[in-house]
A and B are shown apart, each in its own frame.
With several copies, the nearest count.
Chain A
Amino acid sequence: MQMIEAVIKPHKLDAVKTALAKLGILGVTAVECKGFGRQMGHTERYRGAKMDVGFVPKVLLKICVKSEESAKAVSEIVEAARTGEVGDGKIFVYPIAEVVRIRTGEKNEQAL
């Protein structure tokens, strides 16, 4: 199994989830995060003090999939999350040693 971590623009969350659902992937864990990269944060001003926020709000998705599904899932995510502008985000794929479903204790592929 592999863990796909995708850092995406927050408003693409729905599109990505829909795309994954089409592949039959329903389990996803999402984390709010802040991205630093090419895309710049905006500027704010408070009583004349100008400040640059530095980061851009992003969502980090974690999707655990069977290794053979991984490539397909990655390409679907790329498709769904792309706007073509800087800051669309990155996908990282990790090897996974084991997966367990807490409710049943099932392991690995059964656990997904």
Chain B
Amino acid sequence: MLRNLLASRRTLLGCLLLGMILWGGSSAFADPTAPVAIDSNTDKVNSGDTAWMLTSAALVLMMTGPGLALFYSGLVRRKNVLATMMQSFILMAIVSVVWAIVGFSIAFDAGNPFFGGLHFAFMKNVWMFPSEYAPTIPFSTFMVYQCMFAVITPGLICGAYAERMKFSAMLLFSVLWLLVVYCPLAHMVWGKGGLFNFAMQPGGSLKFPALDFAGGTVVHISSGVSALICALVMGKRRGYGKIPMAPHSVVISVIGAALLWVGWFGFNGGSALSAGGGASSAFVATHFAAAAAALGWMFAEWLKTGKPTVLGAISGAVAGLVVITPASGFVGPMSALIMGAVGGVVCFFAATSLKHALGYDDSLDAFGVHGIGGTIGALLTGCFAQQFFNPSVPDSAMNGIFFGGKQLGNQAVATVISWVLAIVGSFILLKITDVVCGLRVSESEEFDGLDITQHGERGYNLEEEFGGTVLDGGSSGSLGSAITGTQTKVSHA
């Protein structure tokens, strides 16, 4: 007990130090970045672009709920189905509130290469006027679209700690993680003046313009690698590898995967921030990558184990969507198809052979799919990108190495930094959370399931005949029968 606490204290101290160094260091890089320009002329708002971006925002929210909620909760055991859904659902709520208060500002206000400022805190100035980020749509549309990305990213991590994390710990960790890992990384990649931002970098010298169209690093590497850390720090589920932990309903996982696929059109297609050739190109790349990856995983599995599983096909599709995410706006349809196929096969081996060889318990393969898939995607973007498909890329030197460019290097740098940030950040935050409220439920709670122990509910009450007792509720008042005077007529069959 004491030793644990001491250990934790020491860890904490280390963390604080590291944090200060990072924060301090960041100011060294800081160029005086001009504030984000907001155009008070709403005439420039384009209704078509706005329509598409609002639709995309809705689609991206649908990816978390019900998409991810279903995909993940189908894979857990019956006793944890609601708790797993709740993780997705409550992130829709809590991340959005944090985003409104301060998250968006950290990510998208101009600032140093690592953090944004606080001009947009409490949604100040985030109204109907278009901004520099997307000059044809209201700034509030841009903000809410980005909000949906912030919602899903910590949601992806849930796959790693499913079936054993305390609900309170999960809430705390997710909020911290959003502020410490996600928002800074989003700032680096997409924020004005961010370290990797290729489009809006006011002349910084220490910069690595990286291509990340819709969040290969920001969303998938960050969450996938953090998921690995979660799996390692939290340890395995009790009985893992000894008792079977078969998915309680692949049926609902299939629904979830299909909705993820559909929603991803908003995720990638919407990242064009307008409705035109760019969105269309990203949409197509997304679709073909998912298709090829589903086949890739399925056929790899069919060859290796003799049976093509449904869970394999849907996992493959998701892997393909992950892989294409950073590339979607920069590659042509056939490149997307190839990237998807590669991603499907590699993630198959990551989520099966690799995981079992190393023996960590990433319950739902958040690392195998998002961590590995995101990494592959970021690197392959440096192979397949073509300026042709995205005129906003300033220089054809940023083409992938297969198309005469030399972008692979910068992609690797961005990838490594994302890994490091995710590893260090998640480790520290898990330790903090552990100290504050403990990470894991007790053995008996894990045995009884999170649904009943964390939430006091069960997912399915299909055997209604076994009764029970109403302890409280519904019996005290009598309005229901009294007020109407004469009883309502009841027809007899």
Interface residues of A (CB under 8 A from B): 10-11, 13-14, 30, 32, 34, 41-55, 57, 59
Closest CB in chain B relative to A61 CB, distance in Å: 11
Q: Would you call B465 and A51 a contact (CB within 8 A)?
A: no
B356 part of interface (Cβ distance < 8 Å): yes
Q: Would you call B466 and A51 a contact (CB within 8 A)?
A: no
From B312, B465, B471, contact of A47 by CB (8 A): B312
Closest CB in chain B relative to A77 CB, distance in Å: 16
Interface residues of B (CB under 8 A from A): 75, 243-247, 250, 301, 305, 307, 309, 311-312, 315, 351-353, 355-356, 365, 447-448, 452, 456-458, 463, 465-474
Q: How far is the CA of A59 from the CA of B466 in the complex (A)?
A: 9
From A11, A41, A45, contact of B456 by CB (8 A): A45
Which residues of A are found within 8 Å of B309, using beta-carbon distances? 45-46
From A32, A50, A53, contact of B473 by CB (8 A): A50
Q: Would you call A51 and B315 a contact (CB within 8 A)?
A: no
Q: How far is the CA of A52 from the CA of B452 in the complex (A)?
A: 12
Residue in B closest to A55 when the chains form the complex, CB atoms: B466
Q: Would you call B473 and A48 a contact (CB within 8 A)?
A: yes
Q: Would you call A55 and B468 a contact (CB within 8 A)?
A: yes
Query: Given contacts A44-B246, A51-B244, A51-B470, is CB(A59)–CB(B307) below 8 Å?
Result: no
Q: How far is the CA of A34 from the CA of B467 in the complex (A)?
A: 11
Q: How far is the CA of A30 from the CA of B463 in the complex (A)?
A: 12
Q: Would you call B305 and A11 a contact (CB within 8 A)?
A: no
Residue in A closest to B244 when the chains form the complex, CB atoms: A51
Interface of B is mostly: mixed
Query: Given contacts A43-B456, A54-B469, is CB(A11)–CB(B365) below 8 Å?
Result: no
Which residues of B are found within 8 Å of A30, using beta-carbon distances? 466
Q: How far is the CA of A3 from the CA of B470 in the complex (A)?
A: 30
Interface of A is mostly: strand
Which residues of A are found within 8 Å of B472, using beta-carbon distances? 49-50
From A14, A46, A50, contact of B243 by CB (8 A): A14
Given contacts A34-B463, A50-B471, 20 further A-B contacts (CB under 8 A): A10-B465, A13-B467, A30-B466, A34-B466, A42-B452, A42-B456, A43-B456, A44-B457, A45-B309, A45-B457, A46-B75, A46-B311, A48-B353, A50-B472, A50-B473, A51-B469, A52-B468, A53-B466, A53-B468, A59-B465
Closest CB in chain B relative to A57 CB, distance in Å: 7
Residue in A closest to B247 when the chains form the complex, CB atoms: A46
Q: How far is the CA of A51 from the CA of B365 in the complex (A)?
A: 18
Residue in A closest to B250 when the chains form the complex, CB atoms: A46
Q: Would you call B456 and A48 a contact (CB within 8 A)?
A: no
Q: Would you call B473 and A11 a contact (CB within 8 A)?
A: no
Which residues of B are found within 8 Å of A59, using beta-carbon distances? 465-466
Query: Given contacts A13-B466, A45-B456, A46-B247, is CB(A52)–CB(B471) below 8 Å?
Result: yes
| 8 A-B pairs (CB sep. < 8 Å) | A34-B466, A44-B452, A48-B352, A49-B352, A50-B470, A51-B470, A53-B244, A54-B469
In the complex, the 3 A-B pairs of residues with the closest C-beta atoms, listed nearest first? A48-B352, A49-B473, A10-B465
Query: Given contacts A11-B447, A44-B452, is CB(A49)–CB(B467) below 8 Å?
Result: no
Residue in A closest to B349 when the chains form the complex, CB atoms: A48
Q: How far is the CA of A14 from the CA of B246 in the complex (A)?
A: 16
Q: How far is the CA of A100 from the CA of B245 in the complex (A)?
A: 32
Residue in A closest to B245 when the chains form the complex, CB atoms: A49
Q: Would you call B465 and A13 a contact (CB within 8 A)?
A: yes
Which residues of A are found within 8 Å of B312, using beta-carbon distances? 47
Q: How far is the CA of A51 from the CA of B309 in the complex (A)?
A: 14
Q: Would you call A54 and B473 a contact (CB within 8 A)?
A: no
Q: How far is the CA of A75 from the CA of B468 in the complex (A)?
A: 24
Residue in B closest to A53 when the chains form the complex, CB atoms: B468
From A10, A11, A51, contact of B471 by CB (8 A): A51
Q: Which among B353, B465, B470 has the highest number of chain A CB atoms within 10 Å? A: B465
From A32, A41, A48, contact of B351 by CB (8 A): A48
Q: Which among B75, B246, B247 has the highest number of chain A CB atoms within 10 Å? A: B246
